[in-house]
A = this chain, B = another copy of it.
Amino acid sequence: MPSRNFTSDNVAPACAPILAAVNEANSGLLPSYGGDALTARLQTAASEVFERQVAIFPVATGTAANALALAQLAPPYGAIYCHETAHVATDECAAPEFFSGGAKLIGLPAADGKIRAADLREAIAFADEMGVHHVKPAALTLTQATEWGTVYRPEEIAALAGLAKEHGLGVHMDGARFANALVHLGCTPAETSWKSGVDVLSLGATKNGALCAEAVVFFDRALARDFERRRKRSGHLWSKLRFLSAQLLAYFHDDLWLANARHANAMASALARGLGAVAGARLLQSVEANEVFVALPPGVVAALEGAGFGFYRWPFEGLGEAVAIRLVASYATQAADVAALLGAAAQAA
């Protein structure tokens, strides 16, 4: 599968500066388990990025970041409210249930992937009425950018987070594509996180140019109490932690993360514009980050597949004959490949 691969942003290799940072980190006998200088520097770097003293914990996968963060917020008898298509609900083999000791994820619907305040309010009210028989409302998790490629605006986050906090819930953000959301919004990392009420962020880097690096970022360090033990007992404390910290330092350095995301988003926009112009096509969601959901005539989809372009057919109801597909761009997506795909689609239509 060569460069015509739009199946996911995790098919890309690491970008050059991050790989270079790993190579540079590979020298000397250094304290293990996070006692090294790079890990210390990461605390400072992340605090600058977020304009606040944060506690940042690198891990290797997004599932780990999400499940660890949610376990910190929700007791085993807690309810975690998420969008019904959230990665934590459908794509992590019940990792949050595992890490939390059995908390329950309660999925809320919404066509554009963004939880509606009314649905959250209703779910909490139901729990309150049920009392001890039901799980206790404990956490809200928002995916930014969403699973449908849309982006919460800061005021939308603030409204949901405010509602959550009225009821004592912690607020988590699954930022597997946080950088993609950031560059779309054109606002600061602080504005779309703690300034909008987010308590804990799963900050993604792997989909945006790292080998294997994500981080759990606590904006109130008191919330991170004992978190190190959670990370350790789940096998996510590396002995040579410097290799994770180095990736994240490079990620932040010179705004590499934003540049990477900007490119990915631009490629997705180009895909959307081009495919939207194909006869019989319909964009199924606003393209605000690096994912494109589009319905195309069956013949076009088949032609693209036949030409070796990689992407997923996606379940979507009410399209008649048309076939929905998902295309994902990354920092590594090349304009020539986008052009090739658009050309093939136009020709097939």
Contacts and interface: CB of A to CB of B under 8 A. Distances in A.
Interface of A: 1-3, 5, 8, 10-14, 19, 22-23, 25-33, 59-65, 67-68, 75-77, 90-95, 97-105, 126, 130, 132-136, 206-207, 211-212, 226, 228-230, 232-240, 243, 310, 315, 332
B232 A93 contact: yes
A23 B332 CA distance: 16
Given A232-B133, A236-B61, A28 B10 contact: no
A269 to B, nearest CB: 20
19 contacts: A3-B28, A3-B29, A13-B28, A29-B310, A33-B133, A59-B235, A60-B238, A61-B235, A76-B98, A77-B94, A77-B226, A77-B233, A91-B130, A92-B133, A92-B233, A92-B235, A93-B132, A95-B233, A98-B233
A85 B31 CA distance: 23
B133 A93 contact: yes
A167 to B, nearest CB: 15
A28 B148 CA distance: 26
Contacts of A100: 102
Given A93-B132, A93-B233, A229-B77, A32 B13 contact: no
A14 B31 contact: no
User: Quick one: which of A26, A65, A133 has the most chain B CB within 10 A?
Assistant: A133
A255 to B, nearest CB: 22
Given A11-B30, A29-B12, A104 B97 contact: yes
A31 to B, nearest CB: 6
A132 B228 contact: yes
Contact of A11 (B2, B10, B32, B63): B32
Given A61-B238, A103-B97, A243-B211, A92 B232 contact: yes
A105 B67 CA distance: 17
Contacts of A132: 33, 93, 228-229, 232, 237
Given A132-B232, A234-B234, A32 B61 contact: no
Number of copies: 4
A235 B233 contact: no
Contacts of A130: 90-91
B95 A97 contact: no
9 A-B pairs with least C-beta separation: A64-B235, A97-B102, A101-B101, A10-B239, A93-B233, A5-B29, A77-B229, A63-B235, A98-B102
Contacts of A230: 77
A175 to B, nearest CB: 16
A76 B68 CA distance: 13
Contacts of A135: 93-94, 229
A333 to B, nearest CB: 9
Contact of A93 (B27, B65, B134, B315): B134
A170 to B, nearest CB: 15
A5 B22 CA distance: 22
* Residue of A28, A67, A93 with most chain B CB atoms under a 10 A cut-off: A93
A150 B296 CA distance: 43
A19 B206 CA distance: 19
A84 B37 CA distance: 34
A57 to B, nearest CB: 11
